[in-house]
Amino acid sequence: MEIAGSARNDGGERKAQILEQICAKMQKNNLSALHSEKKCILFYNKFLKQSLLRIMDNLERADELKIVTSYYREIQGILKERGIEHQRRADVSKAFRIALNAHKDMRRRSGEPYIIHPLNVALIVLKRMNLGATSVICALLHDVVEDTDYTLDTIEEIFGQEIKEIIDGLTKIDTVPDHDQSQQFETFHKILFSMSKDPRVILIKLADRLHNMQTLSSMPEEKRKKTAAETTYFYAPLAHRLGFFSIKSELEDLAMKYQDPGGYEFIEDKIKNTEAERSTFIEEFIAPIKASLEKKGFHFEISSRIKSIYSIWQKMDKKRIRFEEVYDLFAIRIVIDVPQEHENSTCWTVFSTVTDIYQPDYSRLRDWITNPKANGYKALHITVISQTGRKVEVQIRSSQMDKIAENGFAAHWIYKTDENQQNKPDEQGVEKWLAEIKEKLQTSENIGDQIGVMKNDFYTTEISVFTTSGAVVKMPKHSTVIDFAYRTNSTLGDYCIGAKINNRLVPLHEELKSGDQIEIITSQKQKVQPQWRKYAHVVESISGIEKALEREENAKIETGKVNLKDLMNKNHIDPTVENVEKLMNFVDCKDLNALYLAIYNEKITEQHIKKCFSVWRAFYKITYILKPLWRLIKSFFGFFLVDNITTRLSNSNPSKVLLGENVQDIKRTIAPCCQPVSGDPIIAFAHSDKEIVIHRSNCRKAQKEAAKFGNRIIKAKWRANEDYAEFLAGINIQGADIKGIASEIISIIYKDFQINCRSLNFRTSEGIFEGEITLYIKNVKNLTQLIDKLRRLDGVTKVERINSYYDQSKKTEN
């Protein structure tokens, strides 16, 4: 520190302090080349005026610079390895420099430089989606327009219109034009609309969402819940539909981690605790398969994959089983390296080899080779029974099928404007689906309806049905006759009166099954009915029904317009605009179409017209005014009655403050769909300025609402002293119908726990009983202790909380 000492002697105290810090920073970062006094003095003189403190800060972040550089070099290395031309790699370099400059002063909530996020998104796009330089450029720039001063016009000027349009599709909307829709739904709509023009929009958006979910822990609790709900509701199903199964599983697991941390940790611990036993079993199971395939000269890879945590939870919840009862906890995967022209027959040969060794359960055979899934997935799935009697799922696929399964559509559909065009395979399936997306966006003016229809389609399982000529028509599972009619031909749908399925006459709402042969029966006298909406599940039928009803309504309006003119002329009243408006005001019609429809439906008759233009018009008008006023008075009194009942049922007595500091004198409603009790992880929504609704955080209805209206989420927590409040909770109990068991159950509830019951319902059949009990519970700990004790009863095989998502722990043995 001689330099600093001499600086002090010269009277430069501030200079000496800064030089000491510079030396320390340079030594820390091994900048030995700058250690000499001469160079250090030059360093000081050159940069002091330009902000020495900023330089010191940059020295502190040298490690971060190394990380950023390593990410960038990895991207360029992959592009070079794939043979991407120099000019395109230079464009990627340009995009990186722009993103680096645009985000230079920005940091994420985790504290890391913001530029690390677009770099990670670009790597996901490259490594996990197999996309090219154009997509990498868009990934690097995807937040530049939204978060910085760069504009879309600037992007277009530098990179061209194609990249500008993709980035525009990735940029969130700033305003909500329709106050009936949430900003999230508007954003979903924009993404899907952009995707229908260029699928790379949604692929980059999926990569963006994946990295955001991977780093979600640094966000506030409300933001975590909102983002997780959006992911479960929209992004994970979309990843599934596009065939990105690994991304879909990771998104679902990460979302569950924040929506249901208890359930996530429970299943994660179970998987870890059974890992050793599972590994031993798998090794023994695959040994004979491996030996047989090697003997036959196959080139293959055989591995196992554990089911995702979310998928395990889904199965446990749907089938109401314990973790130990999930037989397909893992699957064996056999990937055959074989030319594409021989892959189907080779997979069936391997199937034969496996079923020669182990007994197959043919009811569990899934032939996705003959009938691939809508997202392009192809494989053979068969469940076999091991030597120990354990059921194991075996998946057989070729290397090409495996690429499709891992990388989704990007593995077998190369975009016209991206790289590697020479290997472009059949893209009909993808283009057809993209065309359907575009059509779906135009089927309804309500964005919520559009998103709901498409979101359901993302996860839908397809069935294959046949026309009378033998043509195969793929339909979503649960499709009805009316869906088939509209998908086949819109005219058939409009005049459909029923169908023959396998020569059996069925109604419009009959659900189709795979293999059905369908003949649509029509009549020119048939008219589309509003109740048909309940039978429609696919976009063609939903759209066709709405269009037919709209045409019919327009026809009624025209007829009503003519009828009104005739009625006014009949009563010697000129059908002028002023007189029509006078009639509208008299009968309180909002617009002309409503008036014409009321005339057509005879809700407004000739008598109304006479009264409107009579000398007693004022008297008649008063009677019309009083009618809705009387209805309002009745509803006003009814409101208090309903509110009183709701308050009793939900225990929302104003004297019982359920939630923490952010909730004051407003009504708290316990959601009946999941019935949270004190101690449950909760999420609260502001439904108005005077009411909040409390759900369990893993409630499906709450997750859907959070995905649609994340801005309504409010911070809420249970207070510590909740012992005076009681909450409704239900439990389901099953077991052997042993004499006196009901008495024991009731004794535990009333005597041991002193819990009041609202209702008990027991049923017995063939020596088995099942019951539902609704209880008034003080807190979740109280409920858990009760369930644990009931499980220890002799003869009881299952006890679980109704609407339970993860409380599936193994019954304790006596």
Residue-wise over 774-797: b if at least 16 C-beta within 10 A, else e?
bbebbbbebbeebbebbbebeebe
How does DSSP classify residue 235? I
Cα→Cα distances 498→172, 489, 514, 535, Å: 45, 15, 19, 12
> Which amino acid belongs to residue 698?
N
How does DSSP classify residue 107? B
Residue 102 and residue 212 in contact, taking contact as beta carbons nearer than 8 Å = no
H/E run at residue 585: helix 577-587
Residue 498 and residue 505 in contact, taking contact as beta carbons nearer than 8 Å = yes
CA geometry: angle 587, 593, 595, nearest 5 deg: 20
Number of Cβ atoms within 10 Å of the Cβ of 389: 7
Residue 266 and residue 806 in contact, taking contact as beta carbons nearer than 8 Å = yes
Nearest CA to 731 out of 758, 694, 767, 707 is that of 758
- Annotated catalytic residue, options 37, 60, 146, 558: 146
d(CA 763, CA 382): 37
Token reading at 494: 């409009």
| Contacts (Cβ under 8 Å, ≥6 apart) of 177 | 186
Residue 18 and residue 41 in contact, taking contact as beta carbons nearer than 8 Å = no
Nearest CA to 583 out of 630, 617, 627, 629 is that of 617
H/E run at residue 20: helix 13-28
Token reading at 666: 């407003």
Beta-strand (E) ranges in 386-490? 391-398, 462-466, 472-476
Token reading at 96: 């990186």
d(CA 83, CA 103): 30
Nearest CA to 252 out of 185, 202, 308 is that of 308
Token reading at 795: 């003869």
Return the axis-axis angle of helices 161-170 and 152-159, rounded to nearest 10°. 150
- Annotated catalytic residue, options 37, 57, 147, 283: 147
> Which amino acid belongs to residue 495?
Y
Pairing outcome for strands 691-696 and 796-801: unpaired
H/E run at residue 633: helix 617-650
Tell me, yes or no, if 146 is annotated catalytic.
Answer: yes
Q: Is 373 left (phi over 0), alpha (psi -120 to 50) or beta?
A: beta
Residue 508 and residue 520 in contact, taking contact as beta carbons nearer than 8 Å = no
CA geometry: angle 291, 293, 295, nearest 5 deg: 70
Place of tokens 């979600």: 216
3-state secondary structure of 304: strand
How does DSSP classify residue 477? T
Alpha carbon distance, N-terminus to C-terminus of the chain: 75
Catalytic residues: 146-147
